[in-house]
Structure 1
Amino acid sequence: MQCRSHGENPHQEHAFLLAWKEACNSSDYPSVLLVPEGKTYLLMPVSFSGPCRAATITATIKGTLEAPTNRSVWLDRDLREWITFDNIDRLHVLGGGTLNGNGHEWWISSCKTNKSMRCVTGPTALYFRRCTHLVVEGLQIRDSMQMHVAIAYSWKVHVSRLLITAPGWSPNTDGIHVSNSREVLISGCIISTGDDCISIVTGSMFVQATGIFCGPGHGISIGSLGANKSWAHVSDVLVERATLVGTTNGVRIKTWQGGGGFAERITFQDISMHNVTNPVIIDQNYCDSKTPCHEQGSAVAINNIRYRNIRGTSSSRLAINFVCSNSVHCDGIVMQDISLVGEGTYVSCYYMNARVLELGYNFPYCRAAM
């Protein structure tokens, strides 16, 4: 089913929903929903829901979808998503097209940009919830209000060849955010935003990110985990063949004090860093809060973390920094064949409350903080 323009009507959500209903209920194999090339659609917040009769649905986005610039569209109805796909099996979202979140008004009104503003959660541009056997490929997603792509409560997901862009100063504009999902593969993506290029949070297992370019942004992160004394778990994550340029962090694990659970069996390997401020970091005392975070008697446990073949340059003196909790130490950290040098300065590696094993050749050599 092709989405068609309707004369002077500036909003296309009704046409999209009609096209979706026809594609979802079709007995044809495969069923296709097409956004034509060379056309631009102003699309209000819309949710495409299943379950569907169609054995497979392919949403081919070749044109441009534009989000409304007026924040009240979301705030008046307390909406936190722009385009949502929910409870669909064997969905393919393919493209060549563009999703433009028009996020500028959200960024300048953020409490992180303007301390006098009330903190409001902005919408995610493209949200996949409860999807199985999901393929997302070849889209350009830019200037989201907050996160660009979110994958939640999903299984067997492959995201590839996405171009995700937003200014480096845009707050909370994570590229790809994974939560409560299993068997997720993210490959061949270019991500330049104002927050984490990829963030992997609680409930996520067997996640692989490969062939990723990241920068600017806050790097590739596990977490944050354990906020508000919550229980969190992430396991069996592989990040490999990544290039990070000019990011504030490289590969990072971040957890709040007071939480519970674990982050374990996580590998970062074959990674190139260029002018990265904190290339390798574990922070069990993460605190993204206006009020100070006090030391707690519990923490998310961090175990079996491997760093292998990580090379490049650090723009800060502390290239490798493991700051672990006094109550729950980091255990089973392996550093193998690490080579990080300074941008004209000597660099170092420190760790606190962590058990670190070094294999092969490593520079800088790690020593415990005194």
Structure 2
Amino acid sequence: MEIFFVLFLSLLITVHGIAEYGVHDKIAMLGELESFDTYEEDEVEDFEMPSWTSTNSAHVLVNVDSFGAAGDGTSDDTQAFLSAWKQACSMQKSVLLVPEGRRYLVNATRFEGPCAGRLVVQIDGTVVAPGEPNDWDPKFSRSWLNFHNLTSVLFQGKGVIDGSGSKWWAASCKKNKTNPCKGAPTALTIESSSSIRVKGLTIQNSQQMHFVISHCDSVRVSNVLVSSPEDSPNTDGIHITGSTNVALLDCKIGTGDDCVSIVNASSSIKMKKIYCGPGHGISIGSLGKDNSTGIVTKVVLSGAFIRGASNGLRIKTWQGGSGYVKAVRFENVMMEDVANPIIIDQFYCDSPNACGNQSTAVQISQVMYRNITGTTKSKEAMKFACSDSVPCRNIVLSNIDLHKKDGTAETYCNSVTGFGFGTINPSADCLTSNDKDYSNPDDMKISQLGESIEDHIVHTEL
């Protein structure tokens, strides 16, 4: 199929007379974009689950209730959870059970690994955070439930992780400009871990970000629901930073910020069957803040429905940064009443003060948008606002059909080169083909960033 696609594209480009754009180079580039594919559903493996009633089960059941958890939603069950974690983590093939039908109040806590192996965290009840920001332990100012240094752990269940975020949102300077600007906790963080599976959980009403995957390798997230009100500030759904080989499948996300955000030092990110809305869309970035270096590469989204979001497919970078975003493919996406269905914004400025023009930028290249359909709320259905000093290169459009219900949709371009084939609506004639020789972003690798690079694991409020 790939060979047929490349041969067909070669013929199509020749017929449409875009030979001056470097046909052979572009076919090679498109072949590279095609070579990175989404994963199939069976890649999200289920660990063998024990039978709770079998006397021959090889798994050891560790119930938080056995360690004194009250499960009444008002008693502090933190110590019971820590004690249960300590025992489950120390034993092979153990299951840490949070029983259904109960509500457990747990304060900010760090659950440390490594564990003995093949641990299952079975959350069937509700875990709820304290709702009063003034009582929050300052030692955990930016996290609530933090899992660190784990290998081969499955988090699953039909339960709920509830951040009780309403008072945190009310205290945000984005809700009320008279409030001081400060950060808030992330509900669930998994960091410095590998071979992690997360399946079936609901994460809701986080104080700030809902689910952060930080400095991890090989993470599979499936059938996860993330939910908070549309006006809840900085409540990203799933935030990926410094991580590789992350897959998201069949996730439904509606929040007050990005449904998915992918930031610095992240590579090989695959997404399939994502529902997004409300929120700020599926975003790469922001990158390059405070003249920092940002690298994101090999990202593919195949299959999404984005409804009522302020953005659809977004790449956002601050001026003054460095690094690159490269090898990205967005395909098979349906939009409904999205304000900015396709947007690259190299002038991102989430600041109360104006951001001045700068001579450097994070380079954006080899980005494909294919089979993108639906409706836009804004006139500019496609917007490529790229840096004059470091333009966007090799932007490819294929079978785009975006309409404005009450007017004519348009495409905006600034300092962007690329081409399209198939249906392109609205027209993208503003994409130019006069490539220039800019510095090669491949000279910099993700591995060179190291731990010293500030990768903005959490939002820092204005």
**TM-score of the two chains, using structure 2 as the length reference:** 0.78
CA distance in 2, matches of 1:75, 1:10: 17
Change (3 A) 1:96 1:6: closer
| 2:414 is the alignment partner of 1:352 | yes
66-75 vs 138-147, which moves further: 66-75
Q: Secondary structure at the match of 1:10?
A: strand
Cα deviation, residue 368, structure 1: 2.7
Query: How many residues were matched structurally?
Result: 367
Contact 1:178–1:201 (CA under 8 A) maintained in structure 2: yes
Tell me what 2:89 maps to: 24
Distance 1:59 1:170 in 2: 28
Q: CA deviation at 1:6?
A: 4.1
Q: Percent identity?
A: 42
Q: Which residue of 2 aligns with 1:34?
A: 97
Instruction: Give 1:129-208 correspondences, 5 Å limit.
Output: 129-208=191-270
Alignment partner of 1:64 is 2:64: no
2:32 counterpart residue number: none
Q: Flag the 1:369–1:209 CA change in 2: closer, same or farther, 3 A.
A: closer
Question: Which of the two has greater strand per residue?
Answer: 1
Question: Residues 134 and 157 of structure 1 are in contact (CA less than 8 Å); yes or no, is this contact kept in structure 2?
Answer: yes
Deviation at 1:102, TM superposition (A): 0.7
1:369, distance to aligned residue in structure 2 (A): 9.0
Describe the superposition over 1:254-290 as per-residue Cα deviations: whole angstroms up to 9, x where unpaired: 0000000000001100000000000000000100011
Is 1:44 paired with 2:111?
no
Does structure 2 conserve the Cα–Cα contact (< 8 Å) formed by 1:74 and 1:123? no
Mind listing any 5+ residue stretches in structure 1 that lack a counterpart? none
The structure in which a higher percent of residues are helix is: 2
Extract structure 1 runs of 4+ deviating beyond 6 A.
none
> What is the letter of the counterpart of residue 332 of structure 1?
N
**C-alpha separation between the residues in 1 aligned to 2:283 and 2:217?**
20
How far apart, CA to CA, are the structure 1 residues paired with 2:106 and 2:82? Answer: 11
Q: Which residue of the partner structure matches residue 168 of structure 2? A: 106
Amino acid at match of 2:63: Q
Aligned counterparts of 1:12 and 1:120: Cα–Cα separation in 2: 28
| Rounded Cα–Cα distance in structure 2 between residues aligned with 1:76 and 1:222 | 30
Is structure 2 residue 290 aligned with structure 1 residue 228?
yes
Which of these residues, 331, 334, 337, is aligned with residue 396 of structure 2?
334
Displacement of 1:43:
0.6
Structure-2 residue corresponding to 1:2: 63
- CA apart distance, 1:128: 0.4
Measured against aligned partners, the alpha-carbon deviations of 1:132-175 in whole angstroms (never above 9, x if no partner) come to 00000100111000000000000000011111110001100000
1:317 maps to which residue?
379
- Letter in structure 2 aligned against 1:31: S
Q: Which moved more, 1:3-12 or 1:158-167?
A: 3-12
Q: Normalising to structure 1: TM-score of the pair?
A: 0.97
1: CA distance between counterparts of 2:140 and 2:206?
Answer: 17
Contact preservation (8 Å) 2:419, 2:431: no
2:344 matches 1:279: no
Shift in Å, 1:350: 1.6
Could you tell me how far apart the structure 2 residues matched to 1:280 and 1:61 are? 37
Q: 1:38 to 1:256 in 2, by over 3 A?
A: same
Q: Does 2:276 align with 1:214?
A: yes
Q: d(CA) in 2 for partners of 1:338 and 1:76?
A: 49
Matched residue SS, 1:185: strand
Paired with 1:345 and 1:117, the residues of 2 have a C-alpha distance of: 40
Check the 8 A contact 2:140/2:185 in 1, yes or no.
no
Correspondence 1:250 to 2:312: yes
Structure 2 distance, partners of 1:209, 1:74, is 34
